[in-house]
Amino acid sequence: MAVVIPETEPFIRSAVRANPALLRPDEAGVSLAARMQRLVYGPFKAAVQGGTMPKTLARGPLLIVLDGLDECDNKDEVQELIDDMLVFFDGNPFIPLRVFITSRVEQHIQSRLNVPGVHLDNLVDHCSDKDITAFLDVLFQDAGRRNPVIQAYVREHGEWPTPSEKRKLVGHIGGSFIFASAVFKFVMGSNASSNHPTTPIDRLPLALKMNPGLDGLYAQTLALSEHLAHFLDIISIIALLQEPLPTSGIAELLGIHTYEVVNVLVNLQAIIQVPGTDDTPVALCHTSLRDFLTTQTRSGRFFAHARHHVHLFFRCLERQLELRRRRPGVPIYPSECTHAGAYALKYPMSHLALGKGHARAD
């Protein structure tokens, strides 16, 4: 910070002289939060109060970027860092300093940041096919400059990939930069086995059939909640629903409480988008999670068996009966029902057809 904001240098130097352990990362007794307080917040505040930063502040507030906060192994220290940061800004609401945090949505992080004064934004809400297309354009253009096979193909056949191939690839990727990167590496041969064709041109059509290679992430994340009540029922219903339901709708269909659904899902936010309200549909971060959960050879103990369709069929019938008991002889319209009620009116026969032959003997 002293390089970017020279006015803070004497205050940082003074803090280090008073406690040299601040510069030794492995020093016991000096937490990350304490280092931030004495080497960042304190010096910055002192420089601002000293009135020595008019030109610097004329450009607007200073920005600190904390990238990949979820990658820190010590969750307690991360929580302490966030708590200390919030205390600082609560006590100094007008200080011209902002902190930009990038992270996967992990419960130990979100639980601390879901407070007034913090603006939470989900990149999934902003990522479009245009973003993925731009990302792939850069990668393929760079590959074209480096790969003689691609250069020879382009001279003979023209643009590669073609606009049509690119559109299909973007559609298959489904908005996931992780998957986009995995697909590109496969096409270029980084992850190709000896059984694959030898050129990127041959591998491109195969990329449209590959799974994202995220099975390890899915299994590791799901394991965080598998010990909780109703885990498999909740995961299975999310995988097998004909259209997404909010946490309240999932709970109503399963006959459990909404908080029990949320309790399972909060640990899974790296792969499942858990909304901040009970009325916004739960969504998968990538469609490949559904493929994973419905393919037993891939998901193993997390497999969403087709018999859950039968369970959903009966739950839909039960919801219909409840609705008709409340309003006997009166037509029931989905627009007048809860999310689960509307779903129960619309999809019972779909679940019966999909679960046919898979009911339990008991």
Domain boundaries, the chain: 6-120, 129-207, 217-355
pLDDT digits over 211-229, tens only?
Answer: 666 788 889 889 999 999 9
For the record, the structure tokens of 80 come out as 């302490």
**Looking at the predicted structure, is the pLDDT value of residue 361 above 60?**
no
Confidence of residue 161 (pLDDT cuts 50, 70, 90): very high
* Spatial distance between the Cα atoms of 325 and 17, rounded to a whole number of angstroms: 77
What is the per-residue DSSP string for 18-68?
H-GGGG-TT-TT--HHHHHIIIIIHHHHHHHHTT--HHHHHT--EEEEEE-
Provide the total of helices (H) and of strands (E) in the chain, helices listed first: 20, 4
122 or 99, higher pLDDT: 99
pLDDT tens by residue, 133-146 = 999 999 999 999 99
Q: Which residues contact 297 (CB under 8 A, 6 or more apart)?
A: none
Task: Identify the residue whose tokens are 């679960």.
Answer: 355
pTM of the model: 0.62
In the Cβ-directed half-sphere of 215, how many Cα atoms lie within 13 Å?
16
Q: State yes or no: cis peptide before 161, omega within 30 of 0.
A: yes
User: Per residue in 227-242, pLDDT tens?
Assistant: 999 999 999 999 999 9
pLDDT band at 256 (very low <50, low <70, confident <90, very high): very high
Closest by alpha carbon to 237, among 153, 293, 162, 300? 293
Tokens of 301: 């103990």
